[in-house]
Amino acid sequence: MMNLNDHNWQEAVTRSDTPVVVCFTAAWCGACQQFKPTLERLAATLDGKAGVGAVDTDANRSLTRLHGIRYLPTVVIYKGGVEAHRVVGGRSEAYFLDQLRRLGVQCDAPADYQGEPDWPSEPLPNDDPHGPCEYIPIDTPPE
């Protein structure tokens, strides 16, 4: 999994020949840390068919603002350097494989994958049955 920042963004995402899954995250974000193993599995599964990376929002404020990140974690899939899909909160590896397949990446979600509900781009209420993730406004300071 790539560590993305202001210095490597152009090469790793904008000029990439393959789609790139980018998670905007922070070290103090518990939901982000819970989602990290899913991203690592996704990167291993894709094995170069698409990129997977993370942006530390605390260290890369300009990228965070430029891409309109308001909640953590936020995952954006870029294709040809352009945003193709965005979700707030973590999803399953199968969900991202399905989204990448829709963008032309030769990968398959598991045969038993039935899809996931349509997720809003803004956070769900904490009592929502779909939302195991906590949604943290980006400007919330660490506790």
What DSSP letter does each residue of 91-111 carry, written as one string?
Answer: --HHHHHHHHHHTT-S----T
Active-site positions read 29, 32
To which H or E segment does residue 60 belong?
A: none
Distance CA 117, CA 50 (A): 24
Distance CA 110, CA 93 (A): 9
List, in sequence order, every beta strand (DSSP E) within 1-143.
2-4, 20-25, 51-56, 71-72, 74-79, 82-88, 136-137
> SS3 of 86, please?
strand
Taken in order 119, 123, 124, 126, the sign of the CA dihedral is positive
